[in-house]
Amino acid sequence: PASTTRLPHGRLAVGGVPLTDIADRFDTPAYVLDEDEVRTRCRTYRAAFPDTDVLYAAKAFLSRAMVRWIEEEGLGLDVCSAGELELAHAAGFPPERMVLHGNAKSPRDLETALRLRVGRIVVDSPSEIARIAALVGPRGRQKVMVRVVPGVSAGGHEKIRTGTDNQKFGLSLTDGSAQHAVARVLGQSQLELTGLHCHIGSQISDVKPYLVAVRRMVGLMARIRNSHGTTFAELDMGGGHGIAYRPGDPALDLTSLARRLRAELTASCAAAGLPVPGLVIEPGRAIAGPAGVALYRVLAVKHTGETVFVAVDGGMSDNPRPALYGARYAPRLISARPAAEPVLATVVGRHCEAGDVLAADVPLPGDVRPGDLLAVPVAGAYQLSMASGYNLVGRPPIVAVREGTARLLVRRETLQDLRGRDVGA
């Protein structure tokens, strides 16, 4: 996780910057992103997955600086809206290294993708095929992949499992709709089918479901070869690589995933007599998550029955993950006081509902009091990117740290920002 160093008296530093300094300078709540940690994770992927096209899934966290880091580290980008596409483009990311996803792409998403010339568009429904072809026009040609649902159940929570047919993404391998879509794409001269895609879920800590998925995808490739004579240049196995949010949580072993995925792909293709396609992966969480720290100030401490409620100045508007997925975190007190006896505390946010709990039953020093700072590690993915405007508290800023220096990447959302959009009389 973000290179947190313990300073004297329990003060924590990230990227060489004490979190207390960040709170003083940028106020709270604030999100801190460790640039070196992001870059290290990109390099770990590139080293573990040689000969693999590694795309960072922008939905985990996106800002212009992040785009530049990803670009400089040689990764591609998975985007899923005109907004993500335009932001990445504005930050100088080459569109040919981007892949556009989405189960319901808007006219604007598709127009932007074609205007900026994205590398590939991942087809997610039959009706999309003719729409893309029509937008490409008679002389153009767009590379596409087809998103397949391989019938593999995996993922840290029901809401983030996408490998089986009871959810909205992709085209089923089991009922034949994937093969049908492939046939339709092959019938469109404006579309060049480079390969198949699947993303079976998120926060997966076991390698096995990926291996089963590879076998089924290769099986489908063999059927397509037999019926259409077509072989594919690439196979995109999506992202979903699980990380530890708390010490001791299970995490996916990337080296083992890389080795076994490659071995399975080679063996399955050999058995089917297929050329081995280029491998593509799309990690988001595993790159951004561990590089982020959320910083809050304690506003109130309340002893109710058995429970100590520690209320902070952020909550479900900057981190909806506990409320959505029952996600568990390990907040830490940043304090210069000698460590007091721990109590089991429930860290809650400032929003107007009882479900606004950031971390239930976590050990915190018993003398935790208003004014204290709390740090929540592993906060870099799917928190700010899913932040909401609930209760009009404004979204926190993002501060990048590196080699002892902090700089603002995205400023705090102000009341003026929020009021400015309300143009009603």
The residues carrying an active-site annotation are: 352
Check the annotation: does 68 bind a ligand. Answer: no
CA pair distance 383, 410, nearest whole angstrom: 14
Helix/strand/coil percentages in the chain, nearest 5 = 35, 25, 40
CA pair distance 387, 404, nearest whole angstrom: 28
Closer residue to ligand LLP (CB): 193 or 406:
193
CA pair distance 144, 135, nearest whole angstrom: 13
Residues 6+ apart with CB under 8 A from 253: 207
Check the annotation: does 283 bind a ligand. Answer: yes
CA pair distance 168, 104, nearest whole angstrom: 10
Which value, to the nearest 10 degrees, does the dihedral of the CA atoms of residues 91, 94, 99, 101 take? 30
| Rounded least distance, CB 412 to ligand LLP, Å | 22
Instruction: Fill in the DSSP letter of residue 241.
Output: B
Check the annotation: does 349 bind a ligand. Answer: no
Element containing residue 290 per DSSP (H, E): none
CA pair distance 89, 100, nearest whole angstrom: 13
Q: Which of 362, 177, 198 is nearest to 265 (CA)?
A: 198
| Rounded least distance, CB 202 to ligand LLP, Å | 3
CA pair distance 155, 240, nearest whole angstrom: 7
Check the annotation: does 297 bind a ligand. Answer: no
Check the annotation: does 45 bind a ligand. Answer: no
Residues 376 and 293 sit within 8 Å (Cβ to Cβ):
yes
SS3 (DSSP) at 410: strand
Closer residue to ligand LLP (CB): 24 or 158:
158
Tokens of 75: 């990764």
| Rounded least distance, CB 295 to ligand LLP, Å | 19
Closer residue to ligand LLP (CB): 215 or 241:
241
H helices present in 49-118, as ranges:
64-72, 82-90, 107-116
Closer residue to ligand LLP (CB): 277 or 380:
380
Closer residue to ligand LLP (CB): 177 or 335:
177
| Rounded least distance, CB 369 to ligand LLP, Å | 31
| Rounded least distance, CB 341 to ligand LLP, Å | 34
| Rounded least distance, CB 15 to ligand LLP, Å | 22
Check the annotation: does 282 bind a ligand. Answer: yes
Closer residue to ligand LLP (CB): 71 or 78:
78
CA pair distance 21, 55, nearest whole angstrom: 34
For tokens 């019926």, what's the residue? 227
Judging by DSSP bridges, how do beta strands 52-57 and 30-34 pair with one another? unpaired
CB atoms within 10 A of CB 131: 14
Q: Residue 29, preceding bond cis, omega within 30 degrees?
A: yes
Residues binding ligand LLP (CB under 6 A): 57, 59-60, 78, 101, 160, 199, 202-203, 238-241, 282-286, 321, 325, 382, 386
Closer residue to ligand LLP (CB): 160 or 364:
160
| Rounded least distance, CB 382 to ligand LLP, Å | 3
Instruction: Fill in the DSSP letter of residue 29.
Output: S
Check the annotation: does 240 bind a ligand. Answer: yes
Annotated binding residues for pyridoxal 5'-phosphate, as ranges?
240, 282-285, 382
Annotated binding residues for substrate, as ranges?
285, 321, 325, 353, 382
